[in-house]
Amino acid sequence: MIQKDDTTAQPLPDGVTRFLWWLAAADEEILKDCRTEKERYRIIGLSVLVTWMFATLAWGYFFSTIVKDDMIVLPLALFFGFAILSIDRTLIAAMSRNNGGNRILPVAFRLLLAVTIGLFISQPVVLMLFKKDITAQLELSKQSKLVAYRAQLNTLNAAQRKTLQQELDRGRQQIQQKQTDLKFYKDAYIKETDGTGGSGRIGESDIARVKKSAYLKTDEELLLLQKEWAPKEQQLQLQLAQMNSADSTKEVIYLGTLTDGFLAQIEALHELTEQHPPLQQRYRLIVFIITLIEIMPLLSKVLMPKGEYDEKLNSATATSTEAARQQVAAGKALQQHYQEAALAEDKRMIDEMFANTRDLRREEAAEMVKDWKARENRRYRDLWQQARDLLLGRIS
């Protein structure tokens, strides 16, 4: 779409074209007179526009993994997207003004910078493309990390838990052993009283009374042991419960640290690519394509041959540089001429002053010599100092 200027009858670019030229870091005043270059810089501007939108989208998704407030994510995405746009325009403008000399090293450096930015920007986009798979892998990663953390806690508290459990088992074994002894003595007493025992007698025989005594004694010992063991067992169980509760609290806190942020998603993506080789190949291809999009403006500038616009730009730059150099030289010459003229005028004024004050200075010098001769302590050094003070005082 081309607009016409009624006064000059020359075609003027529309607003979209001027915006694309601005994105391409082109000088509109020079470019509008270059017929063959207008479309070329529109294409470069379009590539910069695509990169700008792509970078804004990538930064937006990146900050959405960190901040959940859209009112914060949107300004940050726009700001950092504009920063990428500024870098791209700077690289293209630097390419346009690189006249002569060795262009390989500057181009290589700019390409390296563009590739670095592209690789970074590609990560949020890849995460967005594989979001479902990454979300599933994040849950698996959390479970595996929780299991590993739980094993670490068990290892850390293993010695203390083992000691408490051994004491608990030892006490329970003593109670169980005493219960077994009690049952043995009780059964022996019953068998002795019903005639099925070793004596074969029914009723309270001497042997039966002995076994009864052993049975009652064992029962008393069991009651005493249970009474002593009950608080100890309760204390040991309380300590174990406290340890388990502390471990559960630590697990909850640790789970709270396992977020779904950017680094966690990168780690999950890395695990996915390691577990699934086909996914790794697609991942590399996507990263390559996204990086290529980022360096597309610079590549288009490098691959396209120089044309009319570049020649006019170089000519205008050289003319401006030469004009600035001549202006600086003229300023230096004018400054030098001013200093020489000021020095000559100062010399003339000093000569005139000395000529006008010659008689007055002679009279004052005669009076000074006369006064010096009248003094008792006469020194030529004092006379010369007074003469200098008189002369300098007149000059100042």
Element spanning 156, H or E:
helix 131-156
Q: In sequence order, which ranges of the chain are alpha helices (DSSP H)?
A: 15-23, 28-31, 38-64, 70-96, 104-129, 131-156, 158-193, 206-257, 262-275, 277-303, 308-356, 358-374, 380-395
Task: Quick: pLDDT tens for 262-308.
Answer: 778 888 888 888 887 877 788 888 888 888 887 788 777 777 777 77
- Nearest to 184, CA basis, from 138, 139, 218, 144: 218
Which pair of tokens denotes residue 230? 């009950």
- SS3 sequence, 251-282? HHHHHHHCCCCHHHHHHHHHHHHHHCHHHHHH
Task: Quick: pLDDT tens for 154-167.
Answer: 888 888 888 888 88
Task: Quick: pLDDT tens for 298-335.
Answer: 777 777 777 777 777 777 777 877 888 888 888 888 88
- Is 247 strand, coil or helix? helix
| Amino acid letter, residue 144 | S
Give the C-alpha separation, 290 to 279, whole Å. 16
Q: Tell me whether strands 2-4 and 11-13 are parallel, antiparallel or unpaired.
A: antiparallel
Range of lowest pLDDT (29-33, 66-70, 204-208, 275-279) = 204-208
Task: Quick: pLDDT tens for 16-26.
Answer: 888 888 888 88
Whole-prediction pTM value?
A: 0.53
Report the percent of the chain where pLDDT is more than 90.
1
Q: What pLDDT does 79 receive?
A: 92
Average pLDDT over residues 144-149: 86
Q: Are 44 and 300 in contact (CB under 8 A)?
A: yes
Q: Are 188 and 211 in contact (CB under 8 A)?
A: yes
- Nearest to 207, CA basis, from 187, 221, 193: 193
Does position 248 have pLDDT exceeding 80, yes or no? yes
Give the C-alpha separation, 171 to 230, whole Å. 10
